[in-house]
Structure 1
Amino acid sequence: MKLLYFAWLRSKIGLAEEELALPPGISDVAGLIAHLQTRGAGYADALSNLAVVKVAVNQEYVPFSHPVAPGDEVALFPPVTGG
């Protein structure tokens, strides 16, 4: 699976993107995020307040209950505002 990080999430995690083998037992976005939070301080800090994290799977906005599968592209980013 390909993970993409944008804006301050990228800064805190220290990566713009990475490849990750989907760990056994993880079937949705919430499980994936819980796993990422255990991967180090940068991940834990970036994902500490999920109210300000949005997710897209395969370029479609999805809720945390959305399923994930090997080969998916998962993007994490702050809410986007316009003006």
Structure 2
Amino acid sequence: MAVTILFLGPLRDLAGEQALEVQAPLDWSGLLEAVGPQVAERLAEQRVNVACAGKVLADKTRLDAEDGDEVALLPPVSGG
């Protein structure tokens, strides 16, 4: 029973890896613990979004990932 955490963009560089598998179920506090302090600090920023099972969460602190889910950490997108 596992959840896959995907690190995208600059969050991948901070994490030092592209993906991480953790025990399911996974909630917000478990996510912060799993990703380490540097990534957790960035996740606290309002502009960083979290998607679970392909859907961006309106309130990322209500994360409730189940076995087989992918949790994508989405950094802010810049553009013009």
Fold-level similarity (TM above 0.5): yes
Q: Which secondary structure does the structure 2 equivalent of 1:56 belong to?
A: strand
In structure 2, the gaps of 5 or more residues are: none
Structure 1 or 2: more strand by fraction: 2
Q: What is the TM-score with the length of structure 2 in the denominator?
A: 0.74
Partner residue, 1:57: 52
Structure 1: tracts of 5 or more residues without a match: 38-42
**TM-score normalised by structure 1 residue count:** 0.72
Is the 1:47–1:53 Cα contact (8 Å) retained in structure 2?
no
1:66 aligned partner: 63
Considering only aligned residues, what root-mean-square deviation do their CA atoms show, in Å? Answer: 1.9
Of residues 32, 35, 38, the one that matches 1:34 is 32
Residues 8/55 of structure 1: CA separation in 2 closer, same or farther (3 Å cut): same
Q: How many correspondences in the alignment? A: 74
Q: Which residue matches 2:38? A: 45
Structure 1 segments of 4+ aligned residues over 3 angstroms from their partners: none
Query: Is contact 1:59–1:73 with CA below 8 Å preserved after alignment?
Result: yes
The match for 1:7 is 9
**CA drift at 1:27:** 5.0
Q: Percent identity?
A: 27
Deviations 1:2-46 (A, max 9, x none): 110011110011011122222xxx653x22323225xxxxx2112
Aligned letter for 2:18? A
